[in-house]
Amino acid sequence: MTEFAPISSSGHLIIVPWLFDWPIVADPNLNKTFDVALHIGTLAGALVYFRHDVARYTRAWFGSIAARRVGSTDERLAWALVIGTIPAIVVGATLESFIQDELGQPWLIAVMLVVFGIVLYVVDRIASSRRHLEDLGVRDGLLLGVAQALALQPGVSRSGVTMTAARLLTFDRETAARFSFLLSLPVIAGAAIYKGLDLAGDGIPPGLAGPFVAGIAASAVSGFLVIAFLLRYLRVHDFAIFLWFRIGVAALVLGVIASGARSAVI
């Protein structure tokens, strides 16, 4: 559910097992392997929802290459998605080990939830909504891609930070959400393929086939439903509910740490 909502899926995938003291949090290999399953499910749900968009922009991109020009709106949007994917791939490939080892600490996730939740809400409140999806160009795609790369820090939220950047560029909320979701698809697919290579070699750990199937199904269904909900919700609502949710989760994490029930680091 948190993959597409602006509340940080990577942060929640760390915080939930940390709160409940599940063994997965102390087993990096199992954690990474299970993330592959969740990415596969999320990607499946999103591709079902955006199947027509994906087909249209894929055709437009290959058509643009064949014609050696960018003519139509679909071709421009296709190139915006391609160019916007590059920053996250470069940063992710370069800093993967550092991100996994240093940036996934519960106290830091709590701070990021609050800081970027406030930024999202404030930017949304002050920004105009004069631009729409058909106005989005390659330069916008690059800027949104740079913003997306910031979400490699757990707690920031990939959808949240790209929606923030889109609102800052004066796109309406629905456009900000739709392009954010579409921009995430190549990154999610890349992560699933990259991490899936290890899974293909090692296989699913013994006795965990059931949980893996359940995780894939749950992430596919919930991802689809959240996308459908958010695209309708943001037509008439702002991001206040997500800000308060982020603050609530951060308060819970910091409260648990202050009580001594859990360590601030993993």
pLDDT tens sequence across 9-23: 989 988 998 999 887
Sign of the CA dihedral 7, 183, 166, 97?
positive
Cα 51 to Cα 38, 155, 185, distances in angstroms = 19, 29, 11
Mean pLDDT, the chain, rounded, equals: 91
User: Torsion angle of alpha carbons 128, 130, 136, 137, nearest 10°?
Assistant: -90
| Nearest one of 108, 52, 56, 61 to 80, comparing CA atoms | 61
The confidence score (pLDDT) of residue 252 equals 97
The confidence score (pLDDT) of residue 15 equals 93
- Over the Cα atoms of the chain, what is R_g? 18
Q: Residue 192 in contact with residue 201, Cβ under 8 Å?
A: no
Helix axes 240-259, 9-20, angle to 10 degrees: 30
More confident residue, 138 or 195: 138
Q: Residue 46 in contact with residue 180, Cβ under 8 Å?
A: no
The 3-state DSSP class for residue 171 equals: strand
- The predicted model scores a pTM of 0.91
pLDDT in tens, 115-149: 999 999 999 999 999 999 999 999 999 999 999 99
CA 52/CA 203 separation, integer angstroms: 33
